[in-house]
Structure 1
Amino acid sequence: MKTSGLNFRHLYFFWMVAKEGGVTRAAERLGLAVQTISMQLASLEQSIGKQLLEPQGRRLVPTEAGKLALTYCDQIFLLGDQLQDALDETEANKMRLTVGISDSLPKLIAYRLLQATQQLELQVRLVCMEDEFESLLADLALGKLDVVLTDRTVRAGGSLKVFSHLLGESDMKLFGVPKLARKYRRNFPASLHGAPLLLPTRNNALRGRIDAWFVQHKVRPDIVGEFEDNAMLNTFGRNGLGLFFAPSALAQDIEEQFGAVLVGDAPELREQFYAISNARKITHPAIEAILSAVHSGPFAIAD
């Protein structure tokens, strides 16, 4: 078997120096002598024939070769940590599921999807990361995530080899605090002309359908806020700054947790929920549990 000849201990020291911005800080972090770190960095650069770090003011920063090496180090040592965690969890009879949650996905939907993983005989340790859709896909492709939960599918023909699995869909309802709901409930949806609305931003998969729904019903609301983060949108909604859409599957949760009540139904509006994975066929037991729970209908995401 061909090996690279790299000394991974030396590589780890380079990674730490690059992260800390200097040999002294890295040495303090590692509990080693500065001379030890310096000598092993020199050995690494000599073995690969490239300078990886250069001075910039009082700091050491990666050269172009160092920047490239750093991207690989990030992956190598992340996978190393994940390997150690996986081995520890195997001994403890646990399973790890690292989930990326799109910032546009309703958090209550994410909770209800992930709740299915807690019904397995083997204990599941959830690690949840929230970020923008594109960033999560990149992390998924690099193996940093097991699955991404989101409200949109991956475009066909993209450079990333990831696959979309439709979990379900729900029609939408419009909610607001009681004072606003009473004002705009009568003669809905015509009553929405000039009404204060909180909407997702235009890069959200649902936004285009909402705009088309307004055109269909010939109403022009007053859009008082646009949000990428669904949780932030709901926070503004619960504080009475405007009316907001939410999946009908969450109607009871919205009323109980946000103190918002129904203004009107929008059955033509539907939101989809997807699991994005690295493989066409999902084999991770915890993700299989999510798919099985959705398709067998224990919670009403799909109508």
Structure 2
Amino acid sequence: MEQLQLVKELQEANVGKVLPSEPLANHTTMKIGGPADILVEPSNLAMLQETMKIIHQHQSKWTAIGRGSNLLVSDKGIEGVVIKLGNGMDDLEVEGNEVKVGGGYSLIKLVTIISKKGLTGLEFAAGIPGTVGGAVYMNAGAHGSDMSKVLKKAHVLFEDGEMAWLTPEELKFSYRTSLLQKERPGICLEAVLNVEEGNREDVVSTLQKNKDYRRNTQPFNYPCAGSIFRNPLPEYAGALIEKAGLKGYTIGGAKVSEMHANFIVNDNGAKAQDVLDLIAHIKKTVLELYNVQLETEVEIIGRK
């Protein structure tokens, strides 16, 4: 009854799309995940604030997603409201060496547009799936750089409804983590990024090389969530998994990619449990063989 009332209020407030019992397999790059009790896709920032206000009035749980990359959603789905940042949360302004961009903006699209303008600094993100908000949330990176190196400030909505602009220092960035993940859960609504003028041909060339590298070494032709494990530097997770002989290892419909061992692909109608069992097997094997404890980079969310 409480859920029906919440759906009714969200719909009456015209906050955007409101979808009860929406399968999250439709909203993740791994094509895995049970239903969200309610999925809301706000039409703009004001509608997101209204959504959060209604959620708080009902004391409902909530989770934010972007394009659904770097996510493994439970087969039992997610309790409460799932807020999807996308259409309506994807404005873009470029002024001189400063880029102001909505949290729902595609990171790949942003990098391509900025590079074509001859602006440099974001080439590292070529081919990283997901949104700008998600990239800030997890301090996404590649090729020796990450979001902490280019972010000037981020506009954040915390779960208690407070909004604030935070600097990289305040976001407490470290390797693939930020304040927003556990210490103080929140959503990156907008980001202001620093870029520099460069030689357009050089910038586009670097961008293309980075895209080609990803295309040639990572299995994005299959449903997947990106890297499964953080690199236990100076070692690399993919190299350890490959050395352990686990490339191509399968549980249910989930398989360790034969192209890159730090990727698990949805090879044949995989369930989240298949992926979780495969993650557990990889961790156990690598620990036994090399005494290295692998930690997941992919975010595992939803009902246990």
Asked if Structure 1 and Structure 2 have the same fold, meaning a TM-score greater than 0.5 normalized by the shorter chain, the answer is: no
TM range (shorter): under 0.3
| TM-score computed with the length of structure 2 as normaliser | 0.25
Q: Which has the higher contact order (CA 8 A, sep 6+)?
A: 1
| TM-score computed with the length of structure 1 as normaliser | 0.25
